[in-house]
Amino acid sequence: MMNDPRRRLLEFVADRLETGAALLRGYGRRFPGPSRTLVLGGVRSGKSRHAEQLMSRYPHVTYVASGLPPSDDDPEWAARIAAHRARRPAHWRTVETADLTSALRESTTPVLIDCLGTWLSRVLDEVGAWHQQDGWQQRVDERLLAFVDAWRQATVPVVAVSNEVGSGVVPHTASGRIFRDVLGALNTEVASHSESVRLVVAGRALTLT
């Protein structure tokens, strides 16, 4: 017959295992579905709205706005940002930053990034890509690799919106071609580390396999 100390030990272990299983089941209910999703689409395709719908299941969301802040110099851009703000749930936490890597690594709630295209524009400007300053390629590679590494290691569900810019005509400016080529490479790399990739066309989302 098993002695009392050993039986109590086994009961203690069994109790802790059941507690751990319950926690895992609770985590699954809180964060269901794919942990990393890339949403692609053209201008006014509905990609941002689709991404917001994907995140609506979570009680708490960190919305990372990566574009330039609104200003009086660009009323059209300010109006776009205002429309996005008005559409988001009031309880979502908004972070306006170009440091996507830190925002992703430090978040403890599901993250929605909108969008990689506007973020890349800021990065290319900061590293001197538009004027092709010496070493800009290495500097942009370092920024993009750091973000992809954070994306790959994300511990919370994360959705990123990005522009699909490879379906139109070849840009007639060098800066336009740089943006198209670098963003295409970034989208491909992010997609390779995603459980789900969606392409939004005219408000309809297609799942890419």
Which residues are marked as active site?
A: 84
Question: DSSP characters for 51-69?
Answer: HHHHHTTSS--EEEE-SPP
Residue type (1 letter), 100: L
* Token pair belonging to 209: 């396999």
Q: Which has the closest alpha carbon to 119: 167, 182, 177?
A: 182
Residues 6+ apart with CB under 8 A from 100: 64, 66, 113, 119, 147, 150
Q: Provide the phi-psi class of 44: left if phi over 0, else alpha when psi is between -120 and 50, else beta.
A: left
Which residues share a beta bridge with 40? 162, 199
The answer to whether the CB of 156 falls within 8 A of the CB of 111 is yes
Question: In the structure encoding, which two tokens stand for residue 162, read together?
Answer: 């990005």
Output b/e per residue, 159-185; b: 16+ Cβ within 10 A. Answer: bbbbbbbeeeeeeeeeeeebbbebbee
